[in-house]
Amino acid sequence: MEEIITLDYGSGGKKTSRLIEKYIVPRFDNAALKSLGDGAVIPGGETLAFSTDSFVVDPLFFPGGDIGKLAVCGTVNDIAMCGAEPRYLSCSLILEEGLEMETLERVLQSMSAAAEAAGVQIVTGDTKVVDRGRGDKLYINTAGIGVMRHALGGLQAVKPGDAVLVSGTVGDHGTAVMLARSGMMQGEVKSDCAALNRLTEAMLASVGGIRILRDPTRGGLATTLNEFTEGQLFGIELEEAAIPVRPEVQASCDMLGLEPIYCANEGKLTCICASEDAEMLLRVMHALPEGENAAVIGRVTEEAAGKVVMKTDLGGRRILQKLAGAQLPRIC
């Protein structure tokens, strides 16, 4: 048994699940945490959604975004996936001695612009400074609060025949960060980092048959869908040809030995909905920039319960598991 934390524990895959389920959840015994969503719904005068996340991306700046924009959009999206309207964020900064003030100002300006674009306010925060060599320049933690506007059916409402959707091309963020880190030519590959609360509000206001929403960040689309099916009496069957991937992202992943369906996304969501609502949802999503490349990529099935199976372009069938190992460490 490992006695230390390794990079695999930050991959979003099997070891991340083990860390959460074996070490973290048992120490904090409450129903909101046990649901293992990215945000927790909290009862009160108004029902609230609450989430927290930490961002340790390397490099701090990458095509399409930076650690500041990522911190705001990531927490806004976690709240939005609960069916809530994001309202307020906190911002805690862990700064390494020697960080250039110009870099910090650039990050803070990016956070301000992202918050304004998403319609949220950063209302509280904290700052700590660690010794040179102890913090890799800058880490950010954000927590967010939103007001519940729509109830989702949840995994218990998922039925065979339900449609599986994704809001756009997959693998953009992870590929862009990896290329930026390696110093390779990036071309047109950019992070998809974006707030999705406008998209989720439009989707949830249009139909009542949405079972679950999730933004497939670390571990990518394949890992997120495995989180849906794990321990359930249903499976998910995907059509490889239906999954949207930008040609330049596919080419970069081929060069790097990666798979887009396991690469992080920071401006996409996946959704399970009633089959009769899928076409309406696609029309709503296509009307907004955040969902212009949305597609139905599969369906819920009684076969292969607890598993995600992909029908490949070659006509075969492949079982997709959670990401094993640290495919892209320090990605968000």
pLDDT band (50, 70, 90) for residue 31: confident
CATH of residue 193:
3.90.650.10
Q: What is the mean pLDDT of residues 182-210?
A: 91
Alpha carbon 159 to its chain's center:
24
Beta carbons within 10 angstroms of residue 286's beta carbon: 14
Q: What is the mean pLDDT of residues 4-13?
A: 69
- Residues paired with residue 140 on neighbouring β-strands, in sequence order: 55, 93
Long-range contacts of 35-44 (CB under 8 A, 24+ apart): 36/227, 37/81, 37/82, 37/214, 38/77, 38/78, 38/81, 38/214, 38/215, 39/78, 39/79, 39/81, 39/82, 39/84, 39/144, 39/146, 40/82, 41/82, 41/84, 41/148
Q: Are residues 120 and 69 in the same domain?
A: yes
Does residue 185 register a pLDDT over 70?
no
Q: Are residues 106 and 165 in the same domain?
A: no
> Sign of the CA dihedral 307, 312, 315, 316?
negative
pTM above 0.85, yes or no: yes
Q: Provide the pLDDT for residue 7.
A: 62
Q: What is the mean pLDDT of residues 24-33?
A: 69
Domain range enclosing 51: 37-148
- What single letter denotes the amino acid at residue 20? I
pLDDT band (50, 70, 90) for residue 57: very high
**Domain boundary, last residue among 101, 123, 148:** 148
Q: Are residues 171 and 140 in the same domain?
A: no
As a residue count, the chain comes to: 332
Of 172, 277, 282, 283, nearest to 217 (Cα)? 172
Q: Are residues 177 and 283 in the same domain?
A: yes
Q: Provide the pLDDT for residue 140.
A: 95
Does residue 1 register a pLDDT over 60?
no
CATH of residue 43:
3.30.1330.10
Give the pair of three-digit tokens for residue 107.
């990050």
Residue 19 lies in a domain: no
- What single letter denotes the amino acid at residue 153? G
Does residue 243 register a pLDDT over 90?
yes
- Max Cα distance, the chain (Å): 57
**Percentage above 90 pLDDT, the chain:** 71
Q: What is the mean pLDDT of residues 277-305?
A: 97
Q: In angstroms, what is the C-alpha Rg of the chain?
A: 19
Residue 32 lies in a domain: no
The secondary structure element, H or E, covering residue 248 is: helix 247-256
Residue 11 lies in a domain: no
Q: Are residues 179 and 299 in the same domain?
A: yes
Q: What is the mean pLDDT of residues 9-37?
A: 72
Residue 281 lies in a domain: yes
Q: Are residues 233 and 212 in the same domain?
A: yes
Does residue 186 register a pLDDT over 70?
no
Which phi and psi (to 5°) does residue 103 adopt?
A: -65, -45
Q: What is the mean pLDDT of residues 138-151?
A: 96
Give the pair of three-digit tokens for residue 321.
């598991």
Q: Are residues 120 and 166 in the same domain?
A: no
Q: Are residues 43 and 107 in the same domain?
A: yes
Residue 176 lies in a domain: yes
Q: What is the mean pLDDT of residues 274-291?
A: 98
Q: Are residues 193 and 305 in the same domain?
A: yes
Residue 272 lies in a domain: yes
Does residue 184 register a pLDDT over 80?
no
Q: What is the mean pLDDT of residues 9-36?
A: 72
Residue 54 to residues 11, 43, 127, 169, Cα–Cα distance (Å): 14, 25, 14, 24
Q: What is the mean pLDDT of residues 1-20?
A: 70
Contacts of 259 (CB under 8 A, 6+ apart): 171, 220, 222, 253
Q: Provide the pLDDT for residue 21.
A: 80
- Cα separation, 324 vs 269, in Å, equals 22
Q: What is the mean pLDDT of residues 289-304?
A: 97
